[in-house]
Structure 1
Amino acid sequence: MPLSAVAIRNYRSVRNLWLPVEQLSVFVGANGVGKTNLYKALALLRRAADGTITRAIAEEGGLDSVLWAGPRSDRKPMRLVLKARFDELEYAVEMGLPHSYEIEIGLPQPAEAAFPLEPLVKAERLVARDGRREIVMMERKGPLVTLRNDDGKRESHQAAVLSSETALASFRDGARYPELEAVRREMLEWRLYHDFRTDAGSPIRRPCHAITTPTLSPDGHDLAAVLATLSVIREDTAELDAAIDDAFPGGRLEAGDEGSWCRVSLTFPDMPRSFAVHELSDGTLKYLCLLGALMGYRLPPLIALNEPETSLHPSLLAPLARRLASAAGHTRIWIVTHSEDLAGHLQQETGKRARRVVKPAGATGIEGLKLSGEYADEDE
């Protein structure tokens, strides 16, 4: 059930965008044009799936900080709107239809029981589309949630969720509401990697518990377990070994278990001993984290990377592009980057050029993107 498009409305510098999600989506542009806002909007959508989107907005500075920063109309309240569209959904009852999930966030009205500046969920909608016909699986308007159950019957639930919670995360009966469960689980499996801490106190630099770990966590603290899983559990590191040699010619990675812990070390051909993760440079450790994210035992359905080139030596950009191109054959990759060099290497590897983020008239946009959510060059 791959993510096929994302809509963002009234989020920071984004006034209104309908973005197709390609197998490899690369967004490049200058500072201040809103590239990171595209990434953060995707991260907020995922927080809707675990029910913490309002808390995430509060952590970003509150709704006043998150809402569209340009001119506003006073005629109606401003709302943040996020929407995800999925390709054919397959689940237990074998219904294959395009689905979309939409959520609206706004400030409290005078009669609502909430803190004055608290971000609240105003509306949610989960829709399956059969041709031109919409089948509403879940609709929320304020405190009222209406659901279509597995028998095709409609149910109404009044005040079943708080305004700070999402219906998507609250109704977890997969047998009764299979579409809702399928979309929620799909979004929860997304992995967004904003940055990896590489300072001396970073948990990545310490051993981690020896537990089979198929997918790297967002902060990378289980890197050693992810790499050791390939070595000890899958017993196949050929691809990983090739990736290490590509980035560090002659280098050799060792990942395994010592008692109840997993450890990683890297050997360079010009050095007489191996180096544990606590000894590696920031750039080298960051690159190992990217390999862990892109080459784990099981890749998530979507991997989003925010400026993956940070701290990397320019010589690592071509090997990174090759790893990204390879991973894009197995999952969807979403990248925002400053690096024209990385974008160029990716185009060389995949034939797909990066989408340029611009900011005409103060609103973030994408060159060549039409209102329909298609790119002009695809018509050509």
Structure 2
Amino acid sequence: MAPARIGRRLNSRFLRLTVENFRTLTRMDLPLGPLTVLVGPNAVGKSNVLRVFEFLSDVARAGIEETVEARGGFDEIAYRGGHHTRSGLRIGLQGVWSPYASESEPDEYSLSLLHRRVAGEDRGRYNFSRNERFLLHTEAGAVDDKAAESRIELRRTTADIDSAAESERQSRPPKVDRMATGLRGEIPVPEDGPSATVIRGFARHLAEVRVFDADVRAARRPSPVGLPGQLLADDASNLVDFLLRLREEHDAWQALLEDVTTLVPSIEDIDVQLVPGTSGRATVQLKERNLRGRTSLADASFGTVRMLCLFALLHDPHPPVMTCIEEIDHGLHPHALELLSERLREASERTQLLVTTHAPVLVDQLEPEEVVICERDAKGASHIPATSTERIREVVEASEGLPLGELWFSGALGGGL
């Protein structure tokens, strides 16, 4: 068992994600716990759930129009089933990110994008617009111990502000840019006011969301070191620098080393060495039992490199609020998945985890409330969740204790081929 360590505890959190007409997600209402594992075969829409967070993260960093254009335009991100592209999509989040919010009185955020043909035009011309809404709990309520609500909504070129804070109230709706977004601070409220402060924190959480899918070739390459405050990159291309930072966190480093040597007993130690003849570039070196010298990560197996990337991610003591992991079982030996499930639960105390998998062996280690069964219908629309948590519990009970993964793989829970 890896040694216990002190890390960041989760305060802000996302409670629910709702989506309409984003890629294959025509209508999704997904509760989000500390650990949420999306289970299903290929091409049922699991990755699209992760792409929603990636989309919001890019909006928080770059803005709405730039994010949509980078993905090839509205037609490429909207649901494409049926004969016509849907004229709008919507993404909503519920969670706790303002001081008086709670699970029973959550904060809310929604972003709607509308793409409608200009009236009277036969072809080619569309209006593209957004509607953005924040519901925040920044003030204590006057009665019944209920938090006071502030509502801010951006509608085309005006902002409707109904704030619990007197300093933010305005006599008439102020003007805003047509594609302004509060996620980039483009709301006409005082910068030091409670709403602006909360929205900045929420936008920062979204901007830091990572959708992790390690690129083994990128992780193997020498890379620059010495960049302060680095998270492990989405593709693990800065693995060398991240390991150097993790080594400064003694308990986290020892826990990672113990896991690696447990899963690959031939490895005795992990080292980082500067590459001769380069300017500040380093590479990961593995000390292997009964072998002279060190083995470069460039010569290690695909599975070993991906395992190192993944467990380094899960031992990060200072992660963002949300971490998404694509195909978490990819390249790992089945015997590693039991330990992986333990590390997922430990990490979920510091970062919410949204994970996709095809592996029954991993699902065997999960609880019903951690599993989300995913399906896709003949029209190309994803059904997520396809089976309720209550139904999963009923099937488990009726099976007299068969493992969840075996039940899913047999088709008893849905989400099969």
Report if the CA contact (8 A) 1:253-1:264 is conserved. no
Unmatched runs of 5 consecutive residues or more in structure 2: 1-11, 398-417
Deviation at 1:285, TM superposition (A): 1.6
Deviation at 1:120, TM superposition (A): 3.9
Question: Which residue is equivalent to 1:17?
Answer: 28
Question: Which residue is equivalent to 2:184?
Answer: 169
Deviation at 1:337, TM superposition (A): 1.6
RMSD: 3.3
Unmatched runs of 5 consecutive residues or more in structure 1: none
Amino acid at match of 1:219: D
Instruction: Name the SS for the 2:260 alignment partner.
Output: helix
Question: Which residue is equivalent to 2:156?
Answer: 142
Question: Which residue is equivalent to 2:68?
Answer: 57
- C-alpha distance in 2, partners of 1:186/1:148? 24
Aligned mate of 1:69, from 80, 96, 103: 80
- C-alpha distance in 2, partners of 1:228/1:358? 41
**Matched ranges for 1:9-48 at <5 A:** 9-48=20-59
Q: How many residues align?
A: 359
Report if the CA contact (8 A) 1:125-1:136 is conserved. no
- C-alpha distance in 2, partners of 1:100/1:315? 41
- C-alpha distance in 2, partners of 1:117/1:189? 35
Question: Which residue is equivalent to 1:358?
Answer: 375
TM-score, normalised by the number of residues in structure 2: 0.75
Deviation at 1:300, TM superposition (A): 1.4
Go from structure 1 to structure 2 and tell me whether the alpha carbon gap of 1:11 and 1:375 turns closer, same or farther (over 3 Å shift): farther
**Matched ranges for 1:77-88 at <5 A:** 78-87=87-96
TM-score, normalised by the number of residues in structure 1: 0.82
Write out per-residue CA displacement over residues 148-176 of structure 1, whole angstroms, 9 at most, x where no aligned residue: 67524137432x3342x523214386513
Identical aligned residues as a percent: 19
1:183 and 2:202 matched:
yes
Write out per-residue CA displacement over residues 30-63 of structure 1, whole angstroms, 9 at most, x where no aligned residue: 1222111112122212222224444343343432
Write out per-residue CA displacement over residues 84-142 of structure 1, whole angstroms, 9 at most, x where no aligned residue: 1112523xxx677621110011225538xxxx678944200001267999834321111
1:100 and 2:108 matched:
yes
- C-alpha distance in 2, partners of 1:364/1:134? 37
Write out per-residue CA displacement over residues 273-296 of structure 1, whole angstroms, 9 at most, x where no aligned residue: 322222222222222221222112
- C-alpha distance in 2, partners of 1:117/1:246? 60
Report if the CA contact (8 A) 1:123-1:141 is conserved. yes
- C-alpha distance in 1, partners of 2:125/2:241? 42
Report if the CA contact (8 A) 1:302-1:333 is conserved. yes
The structure having more radius of gyration, on CA atoms, is 2
Report if the CA contact (8 A) 1:27-1:337 is conserved. yes
Report if the CA contact (8 A) 2:307-2:332 is conserved. yes
Report if the CA contact (8 A) 1:255-1:262 is conserved. no
